[in-house]
């Protein structure tokens, strides 16, 4: 487990974003109707490990030090909401001739916007993080 955590902590770039996105999408399985709660014991520690590895240089400004934490939270939240809110798109297809134009906004736009809450939450968590 230590080796796995170390590999997650040291990820960088697009791999870090991809793992955060995948962990968020995986976290949906812990919710109803799947109720596979054990997934939460995997996906949320991955988020914590990613946050643990999101450090900046001391000489950087405070905003540059918090940007990686925001990105990790945003990608986690985007994966979570994209995988969890797919049903909104299905609802728009009932009267597709009237509402099909809103499908991309509902399926991608709502998770895009809601992911900002996870981004801000991880920034706040990073502010209180101890080394």
Quick one: pLDDT at residue 119? 98
Q: Which two tokens stand for residue 66?
A: 């918090």
Whether residue 59 is predicted with pLDDT greater than 70 in this model: the reply is no
Quick one: pLDDT at residue 11? 87
Residues 9, 14, 15, 19, Cα dihedral to 10°:
80
pLDDT digits (tens, 9 = 90+) for 30-51: 998 889 999 999 999 999 999 9
H helix runs in the chain, sequence order: 2-9, 14-27, 40-52, 62-84, 87-92, 96-99, 103-104, 110-127
pLDDT digits (tens, 9 = 90+) for 72-119: 999 999 999 999 998 999 999 999 999 999 999 999 999 999 999 999
Quick one: pLDDT at residue 70? 96
């Amino acid at each position: 487990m230590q080796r796995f955590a170390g590999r997650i902590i040291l990820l960088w770039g697009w791999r870090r974003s991809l793992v955060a996105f995948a962990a968020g999408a995986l976290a949906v399985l812990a919710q109803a109707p799947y109720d596979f709660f054990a997934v939460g014991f995997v996906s949320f520690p991955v988020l914590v490990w990613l946050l643990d590895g999101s450090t900046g240089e001391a000489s950087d400004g405070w905003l540059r030090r918090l940007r990686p934490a925001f990105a990790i939270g945003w990608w986690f939240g985007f994966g979570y909401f994209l995988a969890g809110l797919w049903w909104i798109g299905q609802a728009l297809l009932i009267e597709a001739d009237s509402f099909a134009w809103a499908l991309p906004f509902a399926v991608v736009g709502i998770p895009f916007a809601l992911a900002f809450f996870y981004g801000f939450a991880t920034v706040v968590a990073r502010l209180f993080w101890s080394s």
